[in-house]
Amino acid sequence: MENRKAPVFVMSIIAIIVGSALYKQIDFKTMTVEKPWLAALYALTFLFALYILIKGYRKKNNN
């Protein structure tokens, strides 16, 4: 039971950190980013973390 909680906790921490870093990269006045390649990497990591979290919650709800 403890093994299933660890990836969800780690991915939620990663999603929070990477999501806040991505939010800081965006200039909302001009709708641009400071470093496009870094923002793209942040976005991919954020989406992967969200995918793992949603996958974990779906498994949890099915059981």
pLDDT at residue 45, rounded to an integer: 95
Q: Quick one: pLDDT at residue 46?
A: 95
Task: Judge if pTM exceeds 0.85.
Answer: no
The full set of domain ranges for the chain reads 2-62
| Residue at token pair 């969200």 | 50
pLDDT at 4: 62
Distance CA 12, CA 49 (A): 7
Q: Across the 63 residues of the chain, what is the mean pLDDT of every consecutive 10-residue run?
A: 69 93 92 92 94 83 75
